[in-house]
Every structure is written in C-alpha cells, then in structure tokens.
C-alpha cells in the first residue's frame, strides 16, 4: 500500500513536471488550441495534457509492471496518442480515426493484453450471457464506443479529467487487495491525472485552464478507462458485474447516443462536431462553467452510485439493465425538452433585438 501511494505521488510530480516542460514547447511549435468558433476559451492553450499523462503512465508502468500485457497497454496508448496528436494538428477523417482506434483496441487490448469481454453477465436471465467466438469483435465495438464517448466529454475545463478521476478512484477502491485489476497502474494513472488537473481545473488562483488534454489525451483516457473497466468486470476475480461497468460510464454513453441520434434526425453526420452536449446545455441554462462542471460530475456520479448501490443490494443484472435503458430514455426526453426551451428563449431574444 505504501509503495502504491509513493508511486502515485511520483506520478503526480512527473505529470506536473512534464506539463511545465511541454507548455512552452507547445507554444513554440504552435501546438495550441486557438479560441473562436464553438470554443469557450479566450486564450491560446497548449495541448500537452495527454502527452504528459501518457508518458507518465507508460514510463512508470514500464518500470513497475513490465509484461506482455503492459506492452499491449502501452501500444494502445501510443497508437491513440499519435492519432489524437494528428487530429489536434489537422482533422483526421472519420474512417482513419476508426481504423486506428480499432488497431489500438484489437491489437493492444485484445491480442497483447488479452483483455476482452467474455460475458455480459446475466442481463437476459439467470445464466451469464457468454460471447464465445464473438468476444473480440464485440470488445472492439464496445471499447471504441466508450473511447469516443470519453473523447466527446472533453469540452470543458476539468470535465474529462474529473470524470476519469472518478472512474479510476472507484475501481481502485473496489480492486484494492485483489488481483482483479493492476493496482499499481491504477495508482500511477490516478497520480498522473491529478497532476494534469492541477493545471486544467479552474481555481481561485487559476481563472482558466493553463493546458488542455487535446484529442490525444481524451482518446488515451478513453482507452485506459475502458481497459480498467473490462478488467474489473471480467473473470473469476471480477469486482463489479458487467452491467455495473455500463452504469459507471452512464452519462457519457447516454449523451453520446442522444447526440448521434439527434444529429441524424437533423440530417447531419452522427460524427459531426456541434454544441449540443450535456455540458453545453448546462451552460445554456445559465450555469457558469464552474457550476456546470460540478453539475455534470454530480449527474455522472449519480449514474455510478446507482450502478454500485443496486449491485450491492443484490438487484438482478437483468433488472439493472432494464433500469439503465429506462434512465437512458428519460435522459433523452428531458434533454430534448430542455434544448427545446433553450431554442425558444434564443428565438425570443433574437426577435427582441
């Protein structure tokens, strides 16, 4: 325990030092996110958060837990870091993005890491639903979906990082003292995330984020969180049931599916960027960025707590699966109604001017 704590502190320091080194370099080479368009920030902000987190996790992990499985972990992170960095510099076409994400999951997670969804639990009845020969492709489909959901979360200071801390902290608390998940990697990841948040969260002495994750960071975080969640929910040492893992990612998944469907209804590509995420809605309803962040994390925490508490109470997996679908449907209805009110207010304000 003391070793893991020290390693987490070292990860915090290394992540922070990496950011301090990378910030001026990013400014020098122009690897920054410029304000304008849909963006809410007003200053050119370095996109070095993802590189700092990834390099810290890989370097410390390489020394602490060298193995074939870690090689897969590092490979997936590297592929997505390169993809995200390219996308941050110049838009990468959706087919290329999906191909590289599939490579990261298929080769890094499934082949080298041997991390994949073997069963979905008893969501359809008393017996576990075994995936058998479909395990690999289903894992790729699910993991790529979660990676993109986490990527879409990254639209406000502290949001993706704060959500990731909640997920990693939850799994760490559940897995401590077990062999279900690599606790060393969890501690390293948590420390590196906190080092990043020290520069990304708005605070009384820090009025705006000094760095961003960039697509490089959000894609890497999506991969890491998916890796840990699958480990935690599969095998004889599992610490959560598969449907509970879905609840942990409940808000990003609900928001992503709602957005993709609403875009198609409006005749747009489901992968097109827009300003209709849940965090955008919270701000359009009048919340400041700080309060919108807290509100988003509270709702995400409510999803997580529901999944964990209902599992602890012994509610069947099939009932919790149905409940999740019901909550998802309610989310879509409520979000649609609130967006309708926002649009009506915007129309009234436009007509008044």
pLDDT tens figures, 74-111: 999 999 999 999 998 888 998 999 999 999 999 999 99
Measured distance CA(165)–CA(186) in Å, rounded: 10
Structure tokens at 158: 């502290």
84: Cβ–Cβ under 8 A, 6 or more apart, which residues? 50, 214, 215, 216, 217, 218, 219, 220
The residue with tokens 């639209």 is 155
DSSP string, 17-46: HHHHHHHHHHHHHT-EE---TT----S-EE
Instruction: Kindly indicate the confidence band of residue 31, based on its pLDDT and cuts at 50, 70 and 90.
Output: confident
The answer to whether 321 touches 243, Cβ cutoff 8 Å, is yes
pLDDT on residue 206: 80
Looking at residue 180, the DSSP 8-state letter turns out to be S
Measured distance CA(304)–CA(296) in Å, rounded: 13
Instruction: Kindly indicate the confidence band of residue 39, based on its pLDDT and cuts at 50, 70 and 90.
Output: low
Tell which wins on pLDDT, 315 or 267.
315
Q: For the whole model, what pTM was predicted?
A: 0.93
pLDDT on residue 41: 60
Measured distance CA(135)–CA(284) in Å, rounded: 41
SS (H, E, C) 285-326: CCCCHHHHHHHHHHHHHHHHHHHHHHHHCCCCHHHHHHHHHH
For the cut 70, the answer to whether the pLDDT of residue 183 exceeds it is yes
The answer to whether 259 touches 279, Cβ cutoff 8 Å, is no
288: Cβ–Cβ under 8 A, 6 or more apart, which residues? none
Angle between helices 183-200 and 2-29 (to 10 degrees): 40
Question: Comparing C-alpha atoms, which of 241, 102, 125, 222 is closest to residue 180?
Answer: 241
Sign of CA dihedral 56, 153, 181, 75: negative
State the average pLDDT for the chain.
90
172: Cβ–Cβ under 8 A, 6 or more apart, which residues? 181, 183, 186, 187, 190
The residue with tokens 């110049």 is 90
* DSSP SS3 for 119: strand
Taking only Cα atoms into account, the Rg of the chain, rounded to an integer number of angstroms, comes to 20
The residue with tokens 């929910």 is 233
pLDDT digits (tens, 9 = 90+) for 218-251: 999 999 999 999 999 998 889 999 999 999 999 9
Looking at residue 93, the DSSP 8-state letter turns out to be P
Give me the residues paired with residue 130 across strands: 119
pLDDT on residue 36: 58
pLDDT on residue 320: 95
């Amino acid at each position: 325990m003391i070793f893991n704590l020290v390693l987490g502190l070292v990860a915090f320091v290394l992540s922070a030092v990496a950011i301090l080194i990378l910030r001026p370099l990013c400014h020098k080479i122009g690897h920054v996110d410029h304000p304008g368009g849909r963006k809410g920030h007003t200053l050119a902000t370095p996109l070095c958060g993802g590189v700092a987190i990834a390099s810290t996790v890989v370097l410390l992990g390489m020394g602490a837990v060298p193995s074939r499985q870690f090689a897969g972990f590092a490979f997936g992170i590297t592929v997505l870091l390169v993809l995200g960095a390219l996308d941050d510099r110049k838009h990468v076409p959706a087919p290329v993005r999906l191909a590289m994400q599939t490579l990261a999951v298929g080769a890094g997670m499934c082949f080298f890491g041997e991390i994949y969804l073997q069963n979905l639990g008893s969501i359809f009845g008393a017996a576990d639903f075994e995936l058998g020969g479909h395990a690999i492709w289903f894992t790729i489909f699910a993991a790529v979906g979660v990676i993109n959901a986490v990527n879409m979360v990254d639209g406000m200071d502290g949001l993706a990082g704060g959500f990731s801390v909640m997920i990693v902290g939850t799994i760490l608390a559940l897995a401590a003292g077990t062999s279900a998940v690599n606790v060393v990697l969890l501690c390293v990841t948590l420390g590196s995330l906190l080092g990043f948040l020290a520069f990304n969260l708005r605070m009384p002495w820090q009025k705006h984020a000094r760095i961003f994750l960039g697509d490089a960071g959000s894609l890497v975080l999506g991969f890491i969180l998916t890796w840990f969640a699958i480990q935690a929910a599969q095998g004889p040492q599992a610490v959560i049931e598969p449907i509970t893992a879905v609840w942990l990612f409940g808000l990003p998944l609900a928001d992503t599916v709602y957005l993709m469907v609403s875009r198609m209804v409006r005749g747009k590509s489901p992968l097109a960027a827009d300003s209709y995420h849940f965090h955008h809605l919270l701000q359009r309803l009048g919340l400041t960025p700080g309060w919108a962040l807290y509100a988003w994390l509270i709702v995400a925490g409510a999803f997580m707590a529901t999944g964990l508490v209902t599992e602890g109470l012994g509610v069947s997996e099939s009932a919790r699966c149905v409940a999740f679908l019901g909550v998802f449907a309610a989310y879509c209805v409520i979000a649609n109604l609130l967006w309708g009110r926002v649009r009506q207010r915007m129309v009234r304000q436009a007509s008044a001017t």
